[in-house]
Structure 1
């Protein structure tokens, strides 16, 4: 039997489907690889002249580009001679700043994955960000294992000195470190007032204490076993003394003056065992320091922002932002 209404609906539906499909096909374009974002051009020298303890340092600073064709930028600096802060200014500042310390096992500083990419994410949410290119302890600086800490202290002081001109509150300065950069951030968190260099200008009259600390899959302990062997060797050499191990294990140096700390780790991290974050969290709670620890089932090591899609660990940046806001940063 002929049903005019049903036939008309069928024809109309088919016509609409064809038109939509045709329009979709017309809009198809060849897939283009994502373009790498431009690097910021605002780079601040950390020190007004040569860094402390430069005499006798002969290492040559080298930028290594490890980017795979068509992939995201992946650059690393070895033998840092001129430490810097790369600035990421937000379109609309929220009045807070973050100093980021990428990882690299204290052999290199991996600037893109854990520095620039995270800084862009934070800047999109209003944070004025500074990515620290710090010196490495194996290059025979006068301060030895304290050379990176000199840079970290100086970075926070220098950032605070820029607060008025860059429109953020000097009392809302956070730090965030990844892997070995997490060890550096944890060291600054616990040893912000250690005198590791002499005053060079007015910026050094400001406090190096961060107002909040984010430790992302951090190296913490220098104790053999839980410690990351590569970072330990670069920092303290093959045979550190018990006193060195204690001084450079941030979990053993927590006081009640430590700022709030956010910790993040993956349980399946085979490079830096999750026990590092557990030890730090335990030490913080023993001193009643405000702290939050997130351990995810999977994620491995060094995931940053680029290896988290589709995994529960993808929640971590928002978790950090929530923690920071709750503590006034």
Structure 2
């Protein structure tokens, strides 16, 4: 059956289109984009806290260029991971959380493209499609965290079969996905759902975490308003703001962090990253913080050519080696 590129899909994804080749020279090795090797459902049955009427999954293509997809997903009723396997595995894995303001997930720009870059360096890459908080889930504020915790535990459960070290599983997130990442890295031990099987006895703590141009704080003074509204809902209390501001939940048990932001980001203020960096340092957690003069928002790995932020992928690779991930 022929499927138009702007057809709406329910359940799975279409992988007919190839992904763009990043312009930056350091990304030049990504010349043969691949489809995921496996799709891993997070929950054995209906996800916890499901609404009476489940969301209807929709995928929309925003790009007008046939070989440069830029798809977004909404209506996530089937939270899952897309696994990309490297040709030469290094024994480590990265869980990737796409951004989208908690109203959608841009899984090409801040998901599959990131995975393609990582597999060229030997990492197993898992792109997480997490539940969106404004789509009727009973515990809206913790639904994305629950999916991230469950994902980390499933990766560790499957580590032996994939020849991955269960201790060497990192987290990386972008924009609102950066909030999912920092929420996971600071509240990994929070009980966000009732255990469903043996995987839930495993730790959800990442080996290390990389929130990239992340939403961090729910303080209205610096919060990304759309993400705050979707996550906390109408009329949130001050206690809710604190509970879901990652910088307010840092402890010495948090893993090492790698932070990236552009000072000219007009979507998510750089103060989000600065607050998280300061909180990590105050708690004695190792943190590498990179604030670039130019880059804007949503640059990922394919929109960095010619800008200061073009340095971040190589910086992360070196940092990952120093933390013992690779």
Contact 2:217 2:247 in 1 (8 A): yes
Contact 2:37 2:85 in 1 (8 A): no
What secondary structure sits across from 1:151 in the alignment?
helix
Q: By how many angstroms is 1:142 displaced?
A: 1.6
Structure 1 residues 224 and 178: alpha-carbon distance in aligned structure 2, compared to 1, 3 A threshold: same
Instruction: Find the counterpart in structure 1 of residue 179 from structure 2.
Output: 183
Instruction: Find the counterpart in structure 2 of residue 265 from structure 1.
Output: 261
- 2:94 is the alignment partner of 1:98: yes
Instruction: Find the counterpart in structure 1 of residue 127 from structure 2.
Output: 131
Q: Distance in 2 between matches of 1:245 and 1:91?
A: 43
Contact 2:93 2:169 in 1 (8 A): yes
TM-score when normalising by structure 1: 0.88
Instruction: Find the counterpart in structure 2 of residue 61 from structure 1.
Output: 57
Higher relative contact order (CA 8 A, sep 6+): 2
Instruction: Find the counterpart in structure 2 of residue 313 from structure 1.
Output: 309
Q: By how many angstroms is 1:67 displaced?
A: 2.1
What secondary structure sits across from 1:153 in the alignment?
helix
Contact 2:34 2:116 in 1 (8 A): no
1:240-279 equivalent positions in 2, closer than 5 A? 240-279=236-275
Which residue, 62, 66, 80 being the options, matches 2:76? 80
Q: By how many angstroms is 1:68 displaced?
A: 1.4
Q: By how many angstroms is 1:36 displaced?
A: 8.2
Deviation per CA, 1:281-327: give whole Å up to 9, x if none: 00000001000100000000000011111222111011111111101
Deviation per CA, 1:153-183: give whole Å up to 9, x if none: 0000001111111111000000000000000
Which residue, 148, 151, 154 being the options, matches 1:152? 148
Structure 1 residues 165 and 102: alpha-carbon distance in aligned structure 2, compared to 1, 3 A threshold: same
What secondary structure sits across from 1:137 in the alignment?
coil
Contact 1:226 1:273 in 2 (8 A): yes
Q: Distance in 1 between matches of 2:33 and 2:190?
A: 38
Contact 2:72 2:104 in 1 (8 A): yes
- 2:288 is the alignment partner of 1:304: no
Instruction: Find the counterpart in structure 1 of residue 157 from structure 2.
Output: 161
Deviates more, 1:175-184 or 1:33-42: 33-42
Whose helix proportion is higher, 1 or 2?
A: 1
Instruction: Find the counterpart in structure 1 of residue 277 from structure 2.
Output: 281
Contact 1:87 1:130 in 2 (8 A): yes
Instruction: Find the counterpart in structure 1 of residue 189 from structure 2.
Output: 193
Q: By how many angstroms is 1:85 displaced?
A: 0.5
What secondary structure sits across from 1:196 in the alignment?
coil
Instruction: Find the counterpart in structure 2 of residue 233 from structure 1.
Output: 229
Deviation per CA, 1:86-126: give whole Å up to 9, x if none: 00100011011000000000000111011101111111000
Contact 1:57 1:139 in 2 (8 A): no
Q: Distance in 1 between matches of 2:69 and 2:116?
A: 14
Deviation per CA, 1:67-95: give whole Å up to 9, x if none: 21245111111010001100010001101
Q: How many residues align?
A: 297
Q: Distance in 2 between matches of 1:46 and 1:116?
A: 18
Structure 2 spans left out of the alignment, 5+ residues: 1-19, 22-30
- 2:203 is the alignment partner of 1:207: yes
Q: By how many angstroms is 1:58 displaced?
A: 3.0
What's the C-alpha RMSD, in Å, of the aligned pairs? 1.4
TM-score when normalising by structure 2: 0.89
- 2:219 is the alignment partner of 1:223: yes
Instruction: Find the counterpart in structure 2 of residue 40 from structure 1.
Output: 36
Q: By how many angstroms is 1:260 displaced?
A: 0.1
Larger Rg: 1
